Amino acid sequence: MRLARFIPVLLASGLALLVAAILLSALPANAATERDRGPGDYGYQYTDHPSRVSTGRTIALYIDRDFDDTERQRIVSAMRQWNYVLNGFVRFTARLLPEDVSSSEIAQIRRSGGWVVAKVDSSHPITRQGEGRQALAVTVGGSGGGFVYVIGDRIGRRDLTGVVMHEFGHVLGAGHDGYGLMAPVYNANAGHCIDRDAAGLVANAQHLPLSQMNWCEPARDYRSPMASRR
Ligand SMILES: [Zn+2]
């Protein structure tokens, strides 16, 4: 267990509350609608297991100001879907990175176990090493927080919410899995919501009871045409 990473020091959480208010006003007002629209469009729905009382374990995300409103909305959608899946056991919080963030502020974020979601392009050094050469996004970090690099010019018209949800799976300790959200290669026909396998990988990594979490399944009106094809 690496519980310590989820317990920010008191000073950092006071700071976080202050900055969170700025994020709320800077986010588009309709950000909440994205979550409901996203998975439904792809024929999925989430399970609805009773939510538990929050454990107070949080993971702080710091969103780069270079993301535009639509991109921020999609990142928030990815975060909300994970929070729904995590069902109170662990919760992501998000705020914008401070303007002209300094390296000492970044170091402070990492010391408190926070994760920076950074928008870069394919000229960034992260894209020239290892997995980064062909990736849409790269997550680097561990128990002391880290970075999720989103390689903006490679995303194109792909599903940014899905790409970021995959990376947040890594933030939560999941590795790759053959198919679905945590497949190692982006698939335009899969990975638009947090499936049971992805939730299971996180449950293992975080020592959580999968049966009390949520995950997406094919929606009822999506399943019936499949059944009639037999
Ligand atoms: Zn990956």
| DSSP collapsed to 3 states, the chain | CCHHHHCCCHHHHHHHHHHHHHHHHHCCCCHHHHHHHHHHHCCEEECCCCCCCCCCCEEEEEECCCCCHHHHHHHHHHHHHHHHHHCCCCEEEEEECCCCCCHHHHHHHHHCCCEEEEEECCCCHHHHCHHHHCCCEEEEEECCEEEEEEEHHHHCCCCHHHHHHHHHHHHCCCCCCCCCCCCCCCCCCCCCCCEHHHHHHHHHHHCCCHHHCCCEEECHHHHHHHHHCC
Q: How far is the CA of 25 from the centre of ligand 1 (A)?
A: 31
Q: How far is the CA of 177 from the centre of ligand 1 (A)?
A: 9
Label residue 215 by pLDDT band (50, 70, 90).
very high
Query: Parallel, antiparallel, or unpaired: how do β-strands 137-142 and 115-120 relate?
Result: unpaired
Q: How far is the CA of 182 from the centre of ligand 1 (A)?
A: 6
Rounded Cα gap, residues 196 and 46, in angstroms: 10
> Which of 89-93, 152-156, 206-210 shows the lowest mean pLDDT across its residues?
152-156
Is the pLDDT at 5 greater than 50? The verdict is no
Rounded Cα gap, residues 185 and 142, in angstroms: 22
Q: How far is the CA of 35 from the centre of ligand 1 (A)?
A: 22
- Give percent above pLDDT 90 in the chain: 57
Q: How far is the CA of 102 from the centre of ligand 1 (A)?
A: 28
Q: How far is the CA of 130 from the centre of ligand 1 (A)?
A: 12
Q: How far is the CA of 163 from the centre of ligand 1 (A)?
A: 9
Label residue 40 by pLDDT band (50, 70, 90).
low
pLDDT for res 39: 53
Label residue 156 by pLDDT band (50, 70, 90).
confident
Is the pLDDT at 186 greater than 90? The verdict is no
Q: How far is the CA of 32 from the centre of ligand 1 (A)?
A: 26
Q: How far is the CA of 109 from the centre of ligand 1 (A)?
A: 23
The pLDDT mean for the chain works out to 80
Rounded Cα gap, residues 46 and 217, in angstroms: 6
Rounded Cα gap, residues 153 and 71, in angstroms: 13
Is the pLDDT at 224 greater than 80? The verdict is no
Q: How far is the CA of 103 from the centre of ligand 1 (A)?
A: 26
